[in-house]
Structure 1
Amino acid sequence: QGHPRGLVCGQRSLQFMLPPGQPGAGSLALTAWDTAGRLHVLQNDSSCGVWVSWAADGSRTVGASYSGCYVSEWDGGYLMVVGIEGMAAGEEKVLRCSRSLPALDAPSPAVCATIQSQDRLPCASPPIAQGDCEEQGCCYNPSDRVKPCYYGNTVTAQCTPDGQFSLAVSRAVTLPPLILDSVRLASEHGAGCVPVAQNNAFVLFRFPLSACGTTFQMAGNQGVYENELVADRDVRTWSLGSITRDSTFRLHVRCSYSISGNVLPLSVQVFTLPPPPAVSQPGPLVLELHIATEQSYGSYYTDRDYPVVKVLRDPIYVEVRILQRTDPDLVLVLHHCWATPSTNPQQQPQWPILVDGCPYTGDNYRTQLVPVGAASGLQFPSHHQRFIVSTFTFMESASQQALTGPVYLHCSASVCQPSRLEPCTLSCPAVARGRRSSEQHLQDGLSHVTSQGPVLLLQARLKREVFPEL
């Protein structure tokens, strides 16, 4: 006696598959004993809760409801005996399923409706009942005959009765979207610890509890297994600091199993990173550096709006302007702009945004200079400089951990009066080294300006916290 390959025990039914080339696949008839001990041919029969389907490769999939004609309650679970025409007596298949398997919450319609048909990753093979699909935490669409049961646009974690972790991750669980090729198990890179499936929208890991760096501990009469998924990040480094624009993703998963009697899963928990706390501390200003709320620079964040909360790679519309000057001949010149984690412009780490008035060439998301001319509608366009920077988060150089907290923007600037020898304009990417000496500054040296408040960067904001209890 033995279990056929591919036995799946659901909440309301079981399902098994006979692969091609196995006895019972093809034209041989399957039989089953009903609860009264009578033998029947196993075929599609809704009144008895049975469905049978054939695949092009010759395999056969059978599903049977626990409340149907051919499944009996036995020893705290469910039992079904399947025979195959032509097999010797006593060699029938005995299928056993536990009665008390954990169930996940059915996903919300919003989690399911946003997934395009071509991006659906199957959660279970058809045929499968809607209740069984949703109790695995998956989406169900009866009109999709190929993939009616598929993973939702979130994190779906499962602990299987045969001792496996199953972790499906959508690229949409973080902002900006997760780079799926970068997702891996935190402690193991072995051949059996790589994704078993991936498409444009999802990545799926499935591995035994005893493998891939899983830790184990006893908690009363439960065995607790834990593992983590992380995502690698593209880190950009220069002499004074490091940044990244990739999401910081760390997913901690815990499966609890009973250690008394049959070893069965009791619960699964998923822990995600919380968003960073809000911190605000305005810095001193000489000129004014402020941030526009949108690309047209029609409105700006006020003091009460800080800290400005942004997601990685979001654009920040920055403007530096001269205050309390009405001379139309004055030209504001930006020399260097950079970011630090505090109002102190000298603090490290730092990241350059503009170098000699031009976008820093070592950045993979190059800062964009925004021309300010007569069409801007400003009274003194030359008193303003604008640029757009993509948000990032600082990294700790030694551990390569993302630093939480605010990011402040700083610029060093001077005011120039155009002359025959000095047009007060910069040419990117090359800047003449001797140009600054001819500028007529309103004050000694360069003026420094700091943003009115910090930009708070959400490094890996999950669209919803996921704490499913089974």
Structure 2
Amino acid sequence: MVGPRELTAEIADEYNFQGNSTHFSLILPYTAKDTAVELITSDSVRTRVDLLLLDPINNWVLSDLYLSCTFPFIRTTCNPNGTMTAMAVKVESVPNLSPSRLTLKDQSCKPVFSDDRSAYFSFSVDSCGTTRTFFDHYMLYENEIGLYYNNKGVAYISPVDPEYRQTVSCYYVVNETRTVAFSSKPRRYEPTAEIGSGQLMAQMRLAQDSSYNLFYQAEDYPVVKYLRQPLYFEVELIESTDPNLELIVEKCWATLYDDRTSLPLWDIIVDGCENPDDSYVTIFHPVVSNTRVLVPAHIKHFSIKMFTFTKEEAVLKDEIYVHCDAVICDSNGQLDGLCRGQCVQLTRQIYSRPQEIKGVGRGQRGTDSTQQRQISTGPIVLTSDRTSE
């Protein structure tokens, strides 16, 4: 057992399980669903995974152990523009907590994002019941994340369970007060800006795991990956903060060479999503706003399992390169074709056999609302020998 779940073949692949008759090892991120979280201090958490060795015939516990690690964890961020962000995590001491039910003191202030492990809040210091206190040369803004009961008797958690309360606070230095004189006069003309032009850039990166926090750098290539191990890709529109733009991954494919037009090739994404074969799975992952991701529409995350690329009826074990065509859509233009949105289904089937080169364009797109970018990454070495790493 790994945490509350039985160790299946799928979980073993997910956690890179290796073992023999005397030893085993696995690797899992501290945010994995099978870990338990304990708050240590205001800026650190301890994550623990419990392991049980069972006799399946007699249902006996032969051995049990746990592993724990402490990680730095930024729970509150104080911004100079008078806004605060706070992260609340589900802890083991409140097992029935649903993070989406958490609110600030003003119960109308709910998380801007939540999942089954955490809730993320963003609010200004003059809202959501935030209090302000002056002392010495500081201003203290304080609020509280909690699970509250309303007056109608509807409770989101059993009264016998422990309370969940997390104080969030920000200190601002008040050094001195200055008086500034200014005057104004009516404008003769409305301000205008000259029309200019620029180049929008896109990039594709290979993430080290499903958290999309760490990425392989140029000096890390070629990257070695095992067959059946997922590859996590991020395609991003860079150097733009325009919320009216959205990046759509139109198509992706793998080749044996860095030439994107070389043969053979294996389709990974076709027409933004769909592909009728059922050999293996491409998964699009949701992208949420955080300190790194300012505009989620500028980024797409997807993963593929590398175990069904075949060449001449044999499973491919070779270097591959991955190429994508991305479309940048402007919501102020005519939204047709791909610009109506990226594939929103979590699972889509794709080809595993070599295909002929497809044309750059599939379908008609309005030229006033899209721009196309071509991006590639690699090489990625596929191997079935775990000892080669």
TM-score, normalising length: structure 1: 0.34
Structure number with bigger Rg: 1
